[in-house]
Structure 1
Amino acid sequence: MPAITVDTLTLPRLADAAPAETERTVVSVTTGPRAYEGEGFPVVRAFAGVSSAALDPFVHMDQMGEVEYEPGEPKGTSWHPHRGFETVTYMIDGLFQHQDSAGGGGLITDGATQWMTAGSGILHIETPPAELVESGGTFHGIQLWVNLPAKDKFAAPRYQNLEGSATALVSSSDGGALLRVVAGEVDGHTGPGATHTPITFAHATIAPGAQLSVPWRRDFNALVYVLSGNGTVGPERRPITGGRLAVLGTGDRITVAADAHGQDSHRPAMEVLLLGGLPIREPVVSYGPFVMNTRQQLIEALEDYQAGRLGVIPDDALMPHVAGSDR
């Protein structure tokens, strides 16, 4: 279950739609394929099959897990570089430990987010802490890549640790849905994440039979990703379920409804992510951990990494823990 859960009846509520507001219709629904990342943890490639123009300013998103690890099974990533964008790791359940070459780091736990601006270049690692590797347990989160415009591609690296308690909480107009705003603004409620690129990133829990109608900036794109559960999206009530992404058209509001029956057995409600941002509309050339504007910039990023100019692994470097060992 998501860690940040409260009584929606005590929260401020989203405003009902005004007569002149229009709902965003569904342009497409895609299903993310399953794969493995890092040292072998399971992910759903949420954006697979969707055009970069529809995603802009987002580049990539993985749903990590949901998986129930046995002792010794939890896995993460080893040290690796990034340049030209921001990585957002949102932990819904479980623990993840972060360290980077710019001095950022900490334990990301239930409901918390680590927001790392790679900018001009950085090395980092994300791995389960030793206690989770030894004990096993639930692991479920999101990693999102947010593009940076050309003017910010070489910004100084930055790390933000956003505790779950700092997340802005608001309920639907009928109290049937809880919305957690991690970054950006929804109906006057602003999340704690500071971003170079204007975006909104929010996580909603929608009770069976309830509907969430969210005001949305007209100049933002709009994406709805279902983490788990079953329901519909848009005024046409297009069916959508776990692991699927809906791209929406223009308009003033996003509408998602949860089916009254048939939610996932291990979760009593529908869980969805709402994503949107101001499109950058610049060339995007990416290769592995680098997201740049030109092929020459990619070559330079690789050369800089090989020459050690993207950072140095610190002497007290965090390393992946192996069950039954001291490291």
Structure 2
Amino acid sequence: MRTIKAQHRAVSAPIADLTTYRALPTPAVAHLDPFLFLNHHGPQVYRLGNRGLPFGPHPHRGFETVTFILAGDIMHQDSSGHQSVIEAGGVQWMTAGSGLIHSEISSDHFKQTGGDLEILQLWVNLPARLKMTPPHYQGLQKADIPEVALADGRARLQAVSGTWAGQAGAVQSLADVQLATIDLEAGAVLNFSIPAERTIFFYTIRGKLRVNDQETEARTLTEFHHDGDNLHIEALTDAVLLLGHALPFGEPIVAQGPFVMNTEQEIQQAYQDYRAGRFGTW
């Protein structure tokens, strides 16, 4: 089995009135190549007549955002002309690539009625050869994401990208990033074989799990060594897990604000291009 290098508790990082825990980066871990960033928003309950999510128009270049809507909704709009409202159980996969402007706010309906909200946003790096790929967006509702029953029906895996238990995911990523969310009932046992050279992304969203003989709990990121292929998971309570894996790029990472590139010069060029209107118009 893979050995565990460390476990990292997400740190409180509220944004306006939005409850937020940052799992990556933290003072203990900068990134897990190619996984760059994870914010866990909520869970919280919004009142009637609320202002919704605070993420108005802002630019990105050089990576992909994958947003998991666990409760509530997100209304996406971007400078490439895409617009959608994704509801609970859905996923947004946005390839920022060469650059675009987007916003992520709550729908008018959610702002009027309020309710439960819980959202994860993961940033996944792009290799140097794909940093300037054209922007692309996919909005997936819950019904668009294949589900696989595991552990005699005691676990349900949502195959977001890559291939899981023989099931192709809803997205085939540019850089072979495999991602899934898994709902586990207490007592469920799962085994996965993931080649040792691939980075595992293992974030416990809810509940308590035992992974490769170590316990982990909600809002905890488990970091693994690259020394084995096997992952053994036991659900100690009902739990929800974000699981992924990808080959590390082993390239320089220079991140500044909303841009992630390989050199400082490329970061400065991103700012120049944004100011010159090359990310499209809002």
Which TM-score bucket, shorter chain as reference? over 0.9
Shift of 1:290: 0.2
In structure 2, how many angstroms separate the alpha carbons of the residues matched to 1:106 and 1:141? 16
**Paired residues for 1:194-213 under 5 Å:** 194-213=172-191
Instruction: For residues 227-269 of structure 1, give each alpha carbon's deviation from its aligned partner in whole angstroms, at most 9, with x where no partner exists.
Output: 11112111xx21211110111233222222121xxx4xxxxx2
In structure 1, how many angstroms separate the alpha carbons of the residues matched to 2:229 and 2:164? 12
Task: Please say which structure displays the higher CA radius of gyration.
Answer: 1
Q: Secondary structure at the match of 2:209?
A: strand
In structure 2, how many angstroms separate the alpha carbons of the residues matched to 1:119 and 1:166? 24
What amino acid sits opposite 1:275 in the alignment? G
**Larger relative strand fraction:** 2
Contact 1:186 1:216 in 2 (8 A): no
1:83 aligns with 2:61: yes
The TM-score, its normalising length taken from structure 2, stands at 0.94
**Paired residues for 1:280-291 under 5 Å:** 280-291=249-260
**Gaps (5+ residues) in structure 2?**
none
1:270 aligns with 2:239: yes
Instruction: For residues 177-227 of structure 1, give each alpha carbon's deviation from its aligned partner in whole angstroms, at most 9, with x where no partner exists.
Output: 111110111232211113111111111111112222123233321121111
In structure 2, how many angstroms separate the alpha carbons of the residues matched to 1:124 and 1:56? 25
**Paired residues for 1:220-231 under 5 Å:** 220-231=198-209
CA separation of 1:292/1:29 partners in 2, compared to 1, >3 Å: closer, same or farther?
Answer: same
Aligned twin of 2:224 = 248
The TM-score, its normalising length taken from structure 1, stands at 0.81
In structure 2, how many angstroms separate the alpha carbons of the residues matched to 1:28 and 1:90? 24
Contact 1:225 1:244 in 2 (8 A): yes
Runs of 4+ in 1 over 4 A off after TM superposition: none
Q: Secondary structure at the match of 1:312?
A: coil
What amino acid sits opposite 2:177 in the alignment? I
CA separation of 1:166/1:219 partners in 2, compared to 1, >3 Å: closer, same or farther?
Answer: farther
Contact 2:92 2:140 in 1 (8 A): yes
Q: Secondary structure at the match of 1:280?
A: coil
Range that drifts further, 151-160 or 193-202: 193-202
In structure 2, how many angstroms separate the alpha carbons of the residues matched to 1:222 and 1:92? 21
Shift of 1:275: 1.6
1:42 aligns with 2:11: no
In structure 1, how many angstroms separate the alpha carbons of the residues matched to 2:247 and 2:99? 23
Aligned twin of 1:27 = 5
In structure 2, how many angstroms separate the alpha carbons of the residues matched to 1:188 and 1:218? 20
Contact 2:206 2:239 in 1 (8 A): yes
Contact 2:151 2:189 in 1 (8 A): no
Shift of 1:141: 1.5
Aligned twin of 1:114 = 92
Shift of 1:291: 0.3
In structure 2, how many angstroms separate the alpha carbons of the residues matched to 1:75 and 1:157? 23
RMSD of aligned C-alpha atoms? 1.6
1:296 pairs with one of 258, 265, 273:
265
Contact 2:207 2:218 in 1 (8 A): yes
1:169 aligns with 2:147: yes
1:61 aligns with 2:18: no
Contact 1:30 1:49 in 2 (8 A): no
Q: Secondary structure at the match of 1:80?
A: strand
Instruction: For residues 6-52 of structure 1, give each alpha carbon's deviation from its aligned partner in whole angstroms, at most 9, with x where no partner exists.
Output: xxxxxxxxxxxxxxxxx222111010101123x54222111224544
Contact 2:53 2:104 in 1 (8 A): no
What amino acid sits opposite 2:224 in the alignment? L
Instruction: For residues 274-303 of structure 1, give each alpha carbon's deviation from its aligned partner in whole angstroms, at most 9, with x where no partner exists.
Output: 121111111000011000000011111111
Identity of aligned residues (%): 35
Instruction: For residues 61-93 of structure 1, give each alpha carbon's deviation from its aligned partner in whole angstroms, at most 9, with x where no partner exists.
Output: 111211111123332301000000111111111
In structure 1, how many angstroms separate the alpha carbons of the residues matched to 2:40 and 2:29? 19
Range that drifts further, 43-52 or 296-305: 43-52
